[in-house]
Structure 1
């Protein structure tokens, strides 16, 4: 059975562990909300809705930046997307966990591929391009 909680957790790309850590509750609590055994507090649902909106906004902004760069510099053969290696790294760039960042990147890839872009996902900082993107983000040039 799907519940509002489980659907929102899925759209946000969260595992049960990540949801429990982000929401600061026990893993058993997340399992009971997911199964519908216990009612999910409205504040929890609102927090997940806010994260889903943030994922959507960041993906839209990232794709807009990709399209702007493609107009200015031509469409690259491949676009490199850097993914955090763990939750601590994801948190250092403003995401609650790797799952949420992954959900955002998945939207970018799905929408970008429909527009003809090709992508490659690599660990953040693994190449010159991801290191440069990390530096730019940390200077506040990129959202999310």
Structure 2
């Protein structure tokens, strides 16, 4: 059975694909899951539930629909990797980290050194902090090959 890794957080760079490709090159038996990474599709997840609306209620409906996928993926994973990028504040990623911590699911944070202070509590509950996707691949190699 493959190791289950949930990839959470920032959606504006290719960090997920870098990890997936790096693990494939290492021959690691990992199944990856993620939230919907198409921003427009994620924002529209609840649009089918009623008349079109903007702002809070549209986001509220879509967040609840997206939570079905996210909560199930986190509950099923063996490990989560939670990415915080520079461009936007990823409140959803912080929420995912808290959900992992509440469930006792191990997680690795992935962010640069400029975010150490703002993420001190999130990093404090993490099993590791990585700064690059390559470091995450190295950790996964250790976990699955050692």
Normalization by structure 2: what TM-score? Answer: 0.34
Which structure shows the bigger proportion of residues in strand conformation?
2
Q: Which has the larger radius of gyration?
A: 1
